[in-house]
Structure formats: C-alpha cells, structure tokens
Chain A
C-alpha cells in the first residue's frame, strides 16, 4: 500500500479527489472552493492601506487561510513521508528542449537550475520568480479567480464567465510557453 502511495498518482486517481474538494468545502461549511482569494485576504490583513478592495472583514474568511496553510503542510508531508524517490518523468521532447536551455535537474517540483536563491538576482531568475509571481497574483485577482475558483468551482457550477476565464488562462499559457518562454529561457 505504502509503495503504491509513494508512486506518482495517475490522473484518474488525483483528478476525482481534487474534484471532491468542491462538495467537501460546501458540505463542511458552505464554502466555495477558491485559492487565489487567500492572497487578497493576506493583503486585507497585512497591508489594506485604505484601499476599498481590501477593506472588508477578513476574519470571516479565515477558513481560506487555514485551507492554504493546510496545502503548505500537505506539500511538506507528501514530500517527506510519501515522496517519490525518482525524478519526474517528462515527455522526451520536453526533456530535449529543456536540456538545450541548461535545465537538467528533475528531482524537485521546480527546476532547481532556474528556481534557486542564487539566481534570484539574475535577469532570468527575476523574470521567473518575481515577474512570474506578480503576474499570477495580479492576473488571478483581475480575473476574479484562478484554476480552482474559475476552472474547477466555476465550471462545476456551469458558470459562463468561468468558462471564458478558463479559456483565457489556457490561451495565455499557450502563448507564453510556446512563444515567449523560449526567449526568456535563452537569456
């Protein structure tokens, strides 16, 4: 059993389990699944700066911060106790492409050749970690949700705006990964 858990989980195991988060949160406390809101609550909590968008009773949304702290702990448990000792197996075409950019380490969730403390101050590292993070935080709030709030929760509830948002997430990702990222990786 533990051997089975240690292997990477197939999509048809993980996908339905992720989907079950939707009814779990609704039944436990009438909460709509959504993660990017936690970033907003953190702003409201720490740096509201009199901005109307951050002036609300964030204490009522504390559940969301407990939820994301749980995700953090879950990540730690999965890697330390249930970790897969082997590097992630990627499509050979991707591996060939990435080798060309000097990415050869597949042991971590992120390529440590780029995502490390030393490269933070290089142009490449700055774009990947700081600009990338900024776009995630800015874009999700502008769109009113992320993959969880729009793609999973919104589509589960048959919301057209969520379908539009999800299509735009994918279009943006396609453009970046196929046309812009190769230029950044070559830096």
Chain B
C-alpha cells in the first residue's frame, strides 16, 4: 500500500500517466474484452484496406505528394470531434450505464521533444504503433523486430524519465 501511494505521487506531475489511474469501479469479466478485440479487427481491416499502414503512403504524405493520408486523418478527426460533441451534448452513457469521461491532456515539453522523435521514427518505419501490429498481421513478419524495438524504446523512456526534460 505504502509502495502504491509512492508510485502515484511520483507519477503525478505527468498528465500522460492518467492512463494508469483507471478509476472505474466496474469489475468486469475478461470476456468483456472481446468487444475491444472485435473493434480492433475492424480497425485493422480498415488500416490495411485504406493503405494507411503502407510505408509508401507515409512517404507520399511527408513529401506532400498525395492528399490520401491528409484526407483520412482530417476526416477521422472531424468524425471524432462531432461524435464527442454529441456524446457531451446528450450526456450519452456507455452500454453498461457508466457516464463517459475523457481525461484532459496537459502540456509538457515532452509533447515537443517526444513528438519530434516520434515523427522521425514515423517517417523511417512508415508506421505508428497501430500500423506495426497490422503490418505484422498482414505478413510482414520482420516488423515484429520493429515492434520489439518500439517496446524497448518505451521501456528506455520509462527508465530515464526522471532525467528527461518535461
């Protein structure tokens, strides 16, 4: 218990940690997770069919040679924005009746440094974390090495976090 409160205190300054403070009192059976598996499957199919996970499309995007990726990201944000606005306006609840809450994000310099570093990686690998999973599923088995390296990158960040400027 002592240990846990220490952890929470140390983590406080960083908003990005909101994720590990899952306060939902709802105790659900593991089978509830299958719903997310199904959403993930649809998402993976869209990823591949729209070629968002294609290294070539990402290269076109960063060279301003195609509208495709901008159209996808832009229209996805628009649909997301309208959805969240509707959810808030009509106080829509989850299917199990919980009120929907979205943790706000607070600024820290990590969004600049980390953002640039991720941008470099995105242009090299042609993939953000989601597409890595889809690419492996699509048969590019060697990308599992890239994924392991990304996990290692996350771990190294966690290890040196206190020493990095935020």
Interface residues in chain A, defined as those with a beta carbon under 8 Å from any beta carbon in chain B: 5, 8-40, 42-44, 47, 49, 51-57, 60-64, 66-79, 82, 84, 88, 90-91, 93-94, 98, 106, 108-111, 115-117, 120, 127-148, 150-162, 164-178, 180-181, 184
Contact = CB atoms under 8 A, between A and B. Distances in A.
Contact of B115 (A24, A34, A136, A172): A172
B34 interface: yes
Given A15-B76, A110-B126, A144 B140 contact: no
A66 to B, nearest CB: 4
Contacts of B105: 144-145, 150, 154, 159, 161-162
Contacts of A77: 41, 44-45, 137
A115 B124 CA distance: 11
Contacts of B19: 34, 37, 40, 61
The 9 closest A-B pairs by CB, nearest first: A172-B119, A74-B44, A70-B40, A142-B114, A168-B115, A19-B79, A137-B153, A75-B137, A139-B118
A139 B116 contact: yes
Contacts of A52: 6-7, 10-11
A160 B104 CA distance: 10
Interface in B82-114: 83-84, 86-87, 92, 94-96, 98-108, 110-114
Given A88-B56, A142-B117, A158-B81, A132 B134 contact: no
B120 A133 contact: no
Name the prevailing secondary structure of the A interface residues: helix
A129 B142 contact: yes
Given A28-B94, A133-B153, A184 B75 contact: no
A74 B119 contact: no
Contacts of A143: 110-111, 113-115, 117-118
Nearest to B140: A110
Contacts of A139: 114-121, 153
Given A117-B141, A138-B118, A143-B111, 9 more contacts: A8-B51, A17-B46, A61-B20, A71-B40, A73-B40, A74-B134, A133-B125, A133-B147, A138-B121
Nearest to B166: A142
Nearest to B65: A91
Given A11-B67, A129-B149, A137 B154 contact: yes
A39 B71 CA distance: 27
A89 to B, nearest CB: 9
